[in-house]
Amino acid sequence: MMNSAIQRRGLMFVLSSPSGAGKTTLSRMLIERDNGIVMSVSATTRQSRPGETDGADYFFVDDGRFDQMVTNGEFLEHAKVFDHRYGTPASPVKAALSDGLDVLFDIDWQGAQQLKEAAREDVASVFILPPSMDELERRLLARAQDPEDVVLRRMSKAADEMSHWAEYDYIVVNESIDTSLEAVCKILAAERMKRTRQSGLAEFVINLQTES
């Protein structure tokens, strides 16, 4: 646990994976487990799915509003994925970081690249891999959120998405969701303890030296 006298800069924690490999499930479990991190809510032009709430799961907008947000520079990152557009509004993220919270991003490799270009020192990224392509297909079919033709498109795109694994700081193979969650939690804990993120560390050490 970090000494209360040491201030820490918040970080942007990215989880990416091919569709069905587990990033959304892991994101939800991490948020439930750790009260020091909040979920970044993306804007999207896709229709809401059953059970999704506007403003909590996504900000659902039309193309015109999305274009306006891009023009106004309101996004930290934005990308087109499977015929729909997604973007991360900057204001809520900056507000959370300024309050000392970490922010979790459930985004694809394109968004992760843009975040790193904008704020590399504040980003830690994890890529989630499936244990096999057969298992990935099984998971996509089991969640029953998409018609079969969409599942096939997601499977065909998975190889391209996985080709970006080397651009990430950490890799987790999701054979077991509980084991993978433990790995993600350990990564987050280590990133929080990095010397460069503890902005009050130098003053703390000077005070220690003065005491001696």
What is the arithmetic mean of pLDDT over 137-165? 80
Q: State residue 5's pLDDT score.
A: 63
Q: Is residue 207 one of the residues assigned to a domain? A: no
Buried b (16+ CB within 10 A) or exposed e, 41-50: bbbbbeeeee
Global pTM value: 0.83
Q: State residue 163's pLDDT score.
A: 93
Q: State residue 138's pLDDT score.
A: 84
CATH number at residue 126: 3.40.50.300
Confidence of residue 139 (pLDDT cuts 50, 70, 90): confident
- pLDDT digit string (tens) for 189-203? 999 999 888 877 888
Q: Is 114 helix (H, G, I), strand (E, B) or coil?
A: helix
3-state helix, strand, coil in the chain (%, to 5): 50, 20, 30
Residue 202: CB partners within 8 Å, gap ≥ 6?
none
Q: How many domains does the chain have?
A: 1
Q: State residue 74's pLDDT score.
A: 94
Q: Is 151 helix (H, G, I), strand (E, B) or coil?
A: helix
Return the half-sphere exposure (C-beta side, CA atoms, 13 A cut-off) of residue 74.
14
Q: Which two tokens stand for residue 201?
A: 């560390």
Confidence of residue 155 (pLDDT cuts 50, 70, 90): confident
What is the arithmetic mean of pLDDT over 145-171? 85
User: Which residue matches tokens 């998975």?
Assistant: 158
Is 1 a residue whose pLDDT tops 70? no
> Which has more confidence, 16 or 200?
16
Q: Is residue 205 one of the residues assigned to a domain? A: no
Domain boundaries, position 193: 12-197
Q: Is residue 7 one of the residues assigned to a domain? A: no
Q: Is residue 46 one of the residues assigned to a domain? A: yes
Q: State residue 88's pLDDT score.
A: 92
% of the chain residues with pLDDT over 90: 57
Contacts 24+ apart (CB under 8 A), 29-32: 29/177, 29/181, 30/104, 30/181, 30/184, 30/185, 30/188, 31/104
Rounded Cα gap, residues 34 and 145, in angstroms: 27
Q: Is residue 127 one of the residues assigned to a domain? A: yes
Q: State residue 199's pLDDT score.
A: 77
Question: Mean pLDDT in the chain?
Answer: 89
End-to-end CA distance of the chain: 23
